[in-house]
């Protein structure tokens, strides 16, 4: 199952207008009533409920744009958190005023500039200087030289209006985040600021200016038609949901859509995690649940996938009816995670079949090659090492198909170098060289170690390998009275300590066969 990674939503300016108009036209009566109540109750409460009531209005419009029917109770749904929204009002107001104060101080600190502004405004009041924009290069020099009021107005607008607008734009989503998701003021501002940057600062500027244009334009148009304050107020109330609808649509397109994507992603991730856990349990079920009873020997193994599932595998198989010859198999499927795990499951069934009526490890590898022909992807291969123990004599026959060389720990440690090509390579390119078999006898106290490359190729944060030499030193330091189970636990701990906080990239498999010490030793 592939995860559908959430894609960032796009903020479309004209869709904001279209969504706002559609929801406004479809639910005009209830939105008009909600807007009217929001204004009246805000005035009665001395703006204490201003933020929470407008947040409720925005939620009503948002629900309408999502295809739901707006409910009047949504208008009052945020009043219980009025402190949070009032804090937002104070937060925005204080920082906006603080910016104005700083700019005003800078202006008053410059006496020449202040005198220039004062003189310019006096000229406007007495109509000594008409408000005109110079046309032609011959007028511009004179215009600047006379310090015309136009440039004073432009400068004041840049110093006062633009910084305020920039701050307000960054707070674009703050009320809807607090109302829809219950985010606190500091988190709401941070998320709003990041969302504005993520989806386009100038697009959000355009939306705010459009909303202001709708409100101011509606009042200006009404004044030209009717000189009645109540009518003008009603028109303002009528068009206010249309302006708020722009903000709701932007939120719905971006953060709300993004949140839905992430919820879907988390749901998919949860389902995949359950599937991986099932696959993990299935894979672990293939591994030996206990070691066979071997008179005079101790045997144990472990397999630790790097992910929930992996491609490493080990097994024990009795090769004769009298249970005198035991096959010990360690394999590693190329690839990672689920794909390798599925191949390992298929390999387990093939091994079960190929171990019937075969005792020589090379014959078993040949049979596995024949079974794998055309059954796995051409880019996939399996390395495998098979050791066949003759329990009464302690003799071991070993063959390898491109796997890590086994280690014989006796008076001295040595790698058993066994050349051999991996399993699953197509017959056309596979060498015809037979698998070489190495024979050895385990003396009392000797150990035979089979492992996967996840042990010696484990990497730490500095990209250093655990390597063969460090592995050998860990094995040689182990006391002779350590059982295979104890030794495996020590080795795994050493590997994990070496890796540290670095990401483990490969499965770790270890199988250790040890011959008991003789009673007289």
Query: Does a structural domain hold residue 6?
Result: no
In a domain, 316, yes or no: yes
Which of 231, 266, 301 is where one domain is finished? Answer: 266
Report pLDDT for 123.
55
What is the rounded CA–CA span in Å between residue 354 and residue 340? 20
The CATH number of the domain where 338 resides is what? 3.60.40.10
Same domain, 351 and 446: yes
Domain membership flag for residue 279: no
> Is 2 part of any domain?
no
User: Position of tokens 């206010």?
Assistant: 240
106 is a domain residue: yes
Reading the block at residue 474, the tokens are: 């860990």
Residues 256 and 202 in one domain: yes
**498, 449: one domain:** yes
pLDDT at 499 over 50: yes
What's the mean pLDDT in 165-176?
85
- 34 pLDDT band, cuts 50/70/90, is very high
Say whether both 43 and 136 belong to one domain.
Answer: yes
DSSP 400-464: EEBPPPPEEESSSEEE-----PPBT--TTTS--PPPPEEEEEPPTT-EEEEE-HHHHT-B-TT--
3 in a domain, yes or no?
no
Whether pLDDT at 22 is above 90 = yes
> Is 492 buried (19+), middle (13-18) or exposed (0-12) by CB count in 10 A?
middle
CB 264 within 8 Å of CB 6: yes
Q: Are 306 and 454 in contact (CB under 8 A)?
A: yes
Judge whether 304 and 515 are in contact, CB under 8 Å.
no
Q: What's the whole-number average pLDDT of the chain?
A: 81
The rounded distance, in Å, linking the Cα atoms of 86 and 54 is: 11
- Enumerate the β-bridge partners of residue 388: 327, 397
Q: Are residues 100 and 219 in the same domain?
A: yes
172 and 312: one domain?
no
| Domain boundary residue, one of 266, 300, 320 | 266
Whether 70 and 117 share a structural domain: yes
pLDDT band at residue 278 under the 50/70/90 scheme: low
Going by C-beta distance under 8 Å and a sequence separation of 6 or more, which residues neighbour residue 123?
Answer: 129, 149
- pLDDT, one tens digit per residue, over 295-335 is 999 999 998 887 766 678 899 999 998 899 999 999 988 76
In a domain? residue 276: no
Q: Which residue has the higher pLDDT, 266 or 338?
A: 266
133 pLDDT band, cuts 50/70/90, is: very low
Residues 294, 258 share a domain = no
CA distance linking residue 5 with residue 91, whole number of Å: 36
How many separate domains does the chain show?
Answer: 2
183-197, 349-363, 382-396, 424-438: the lowest-pLDDT one: 424-438
Q: Which domain, by its residues, includes 333?
A: 288-515
Q: Each residue of 474-497: pLDDT tens digit?
A: 998 888 788 999 999 999 999 999
What is d(CA 302, CA 492) in angstroms, rounded to the nearest whole number?
9
Same domain flag for 296 and 255: no
Q: Distance (Å, rounded) from C-alpha 360 to C-alpha 365? A: 9
Q: Same domain, yes or no, for 191 and 232?
A: yes
At 79-94, the pLDDT tens digits run 888 888 888 888 877 7
Whether 333 and 413 map to the same domain: the answer is yes
For 400, phi then psi, to 5°, come to -135, 140
Do the domain assignments include residue 281?
no
**CB-CB contact of 383 with 424 (8 Å):** no
Residue 294: pLDDT band with limits 50, 70, 90: very high
Residues 153 and 261 in one domain: yes
């Amino acid at each position: 199952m592939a995860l559908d990674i959430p894609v960032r939503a796009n903020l479309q300016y004209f869709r904001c207008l279209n969504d706002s108009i559609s929801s406004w036209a479809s639910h005009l009566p209830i939105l008009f009533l909600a807007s009217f109540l929001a204004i009246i109750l805000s005035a009665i409460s001395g703006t204490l409920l201003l933020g929470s009531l407008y947040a409720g209005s925005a939620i009503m419009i948002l629900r309408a744009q999502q295809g739901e029917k707006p409910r009047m109770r949504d208008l009052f749904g945020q009043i219980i958190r009025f402190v949070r929204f009032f804090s937002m009002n104070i937060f925005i107001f204080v920082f906006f005023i603080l910016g104005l104060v700083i700019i005003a101080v800078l202006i008053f600190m410059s006496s020449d500039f202040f005198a220039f502004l004062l003189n310019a405004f006096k000229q406007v009041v007495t109509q000594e200087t008409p408000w005109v924009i110079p046309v032609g290069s011959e007028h511009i020099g004179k215009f600047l030289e006379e310090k015309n009021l136009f440039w004073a107005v432009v400068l004041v607008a840049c110093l006062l209006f633009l910084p305020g607008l920039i701050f307000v734009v960054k707070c674009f989503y703050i009320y809807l985040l607090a109302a829809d998701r219950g985010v606190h003021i500091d988190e709401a501002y941070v998320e709003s600021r990041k969302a504005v940057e993520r989806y386009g600062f100038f697009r959000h500027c355009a939306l705010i200016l459009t909303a202001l244009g709708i409100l101011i334009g509606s009042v200006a148009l009404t004044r030209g038609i009717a000189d009645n304050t109540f009518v003008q107020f009603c028109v303002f109330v009528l068009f206010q949901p249309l302006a708020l609808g722009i903000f709701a649509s932007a939120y719905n397109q971006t953060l709300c859509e993004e949140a839905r994507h992430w919820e879907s992603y988390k749901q998919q991730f949860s389902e995949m995690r359950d599937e991986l856990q099932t696959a993990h349990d299935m894979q672990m079920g293939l591994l030996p649940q206990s070691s066979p009873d071997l008179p005079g020997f101790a045997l144990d193994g472990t397999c630790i996938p790097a992910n929930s599932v992996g491609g490493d595998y080990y097994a024990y198989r009795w090769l004769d009816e009298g249970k005198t010859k035991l096959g010990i198999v360690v394999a590693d499927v190329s690839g990672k995670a689920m794909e390798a795990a599925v191949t390992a499951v298929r390999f387990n069934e093939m091994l079960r079949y190929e171990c019937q009526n075969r005792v020589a490890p090379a014959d078993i590898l040949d049979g596995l090659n024949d079974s794998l022909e055309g059954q796995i992807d051409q880019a996939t291969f399996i390395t495998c090492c098979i050791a066949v123990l003759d329990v009464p004599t302690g003799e071991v026959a070993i063959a390898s198909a491109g796997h890590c060389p086994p280690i014989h720990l006796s008076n001295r440690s040595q790698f058993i170098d066994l050349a051999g090509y991996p399993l699953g390579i197509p017959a056309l390119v596979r060498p015809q060289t037979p698998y070489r078999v190495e024979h050895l006898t385990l003396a009392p106290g000797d150990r035979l170690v089979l492992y996967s490359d996840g042990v010696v190729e484990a990497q730490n944060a500095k990209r250093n390998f655990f390597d063969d030499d460090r592995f050998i030193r860990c094995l040689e330091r182990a006391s002779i009275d350590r059982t295979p189970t104890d030794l495996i636990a020590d080795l795994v701990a050493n590997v994990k300590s070496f890796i540290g906080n670095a990401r483990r990239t490969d499965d770790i498999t270890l199988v250790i066969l040890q011959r008991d010490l003789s009673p007289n030793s």
